[in-house]
Amino acid sequence: MRMSAWACIALAAPLLLAGCKGFWDAPDSNGGGGGGGTTASSGNFYVLHGGKNQIAGFYVNAGFVTALAGSPYNVTASPVAVAIAPNGNFLYVSTVAGIYLYTIGSGGRLTPGNLGNPISSDPATSMQVDATNSWLVEAASGIAQVFAIPIDPATGLATSPVEQFAPLPASTVQQVAISPDNLHVLVAMGSGGTEMVPFTSGNTNPLGQTSHIAISNPAGAALSVAVDPQSRLFYVGETAAVSGSNTGGLRAFNLSTMAELTGSPFATAGLAPYAILPVSSGNYVYVANRQTSAGATGIIAGFSITPSGTSYSLAALGGTSTAGAHTVGLAQDNTGTFVFAVNYDGNPDLSAYTFDAAKAGYLDLVISSSTGDDPVQATAIAAVR
């Protein structure tokens, strides 16, 4: 790729998450209680601090958010996106200055790789590592292409052959996702809709010829994509997708046929579905709306998934969960206990939920925590699988 093309969009990347500054909780290394409280503990997770040029690492220890050793870690430029290799050994952070590699060591401690130099000059908007730990798939708003960087599963470093790509019909890239079966890449492209890209990890260029999914409403935009853990369904979060004051919608498709499920798009109780989280059990999917028609407070809507042979149906859970101001990311920890949400304008920076014991699929807010000194401006979250 020509570096000049990426340089033209480097300063534009942070604008994707622009928002009004809000109130943040005072920093507290032990986090804090929020909802009903919990004594549970979690695996490691990492939050990008766009306002501080930092990566902050945490785990929940007996109900308290606890910083990992050495956290926070400074980065050279504003961080935009984060991805963790499925083997749990490497973390990649995209900044406006390129993509940086970190080795995940004992206790979750991060060590810069590649002598602290970027492994790619691409300022990716979104990225993910494939199931073989051999490709870093990424794309950036402003470039009508999706890229695959070959990486060494043992070192995490970029290798030869050179970075590969496939053309996209639009350059308004918002998010990418790779299906767990490692056969498809999905790209949400704002008003340009969603693109499905065949993926074959053993090929020199693993990216194939794309198929297009138009947005459901010409006035809307595709903001997020995700695939469920059994590679049965894929999801697209779109604005202006349903009627009413909160017009954000979740579209659901059969991955093998690309047929949209009956009832899709499903109302998500908010305006901007920025993140979609199909949980590891495969029974539920959650959507985080950046805001609602009532204001900046984010809202999380949940849906149950019911299989019937090779057909599936979704049903909205009876309630929603509130988060902080301008919710932008979701993650589930590798114990399957917690769902985490990060909020760009804080109040709090981090919201943590456990699954309700009496109401299947419902989320209980158990922790509301700061993740660092103001202004944090959390832009993304990733958890070790």
Give the tens place of pLDDT for each residue, 256-278.
999 999 999 999 999 999 999 99
**Contact at 8 Å (CB) between 65 and 41?**
no
User: Tell me, what DSSP letter sits at residue 259?
Assistant: P
**Contact at 8 Å (CB) between 368 and 34?**
yes
Separation of alpha carbons 107 and 115, rounded Å: 21
Render pLDDT for 42-67 as a digit per residue (tens, 0 to 9).
999 999 999 999 999 999 999 999 99
Of 283, 182, 278, 279, the C-alpha closest to 227 is 278
Q: Is the pLDDT of residue 209 over 60?
A: yes
Facing residues of 320 across strands?
A: 301
**What band does 79 get if pLDDT is binned at 50, 70 and 90?**
very high
CA distances from 76 to 1, 99, 376 (A): 22, 11, 16
The average pLDDT across 114-124 equals: 96
Q: Is the pLDDT of residue 14 over 70?
A: no
Separation of alpha carbons 69 and 138, rounded Å: 29
Within 13 Å and on the Cβ side, how many CA atoms surround 169? Answer: 16
Q: What's the mean per-residue pLDDT of the chain? A: 91
The residue type of 82 is V
**Contact at 8 Å (CB) between 343 and 21?**
no
Percent residues over pLDDT 70 in the chain: 91
**What band does 36 get if pLDDT is binned at 50, 70 and 90?**
low
Lowest model confidence (mean pLDDT) among 18-32, 108-122, 130-144, 331-345: 18-32
Interior/surface letters 80-108, b for 16+ CB within 10 angstroms, e for the rest: bbbbbbbbebbbbbbbbebbbbbebeeeb
pLDDT at 254: 97
Q: Is the pLDDT of residue 12 over 80?
A: no
Separation of alpha carbons 194 and 238, rounded Å: 10
* Burial class of residue 373, CB neighbours in 10 A (0-12, 13-18, 19+): middle
**Contact at 8 Å (CB) between 95 and 80?**
yes
The residue type of 139 is A
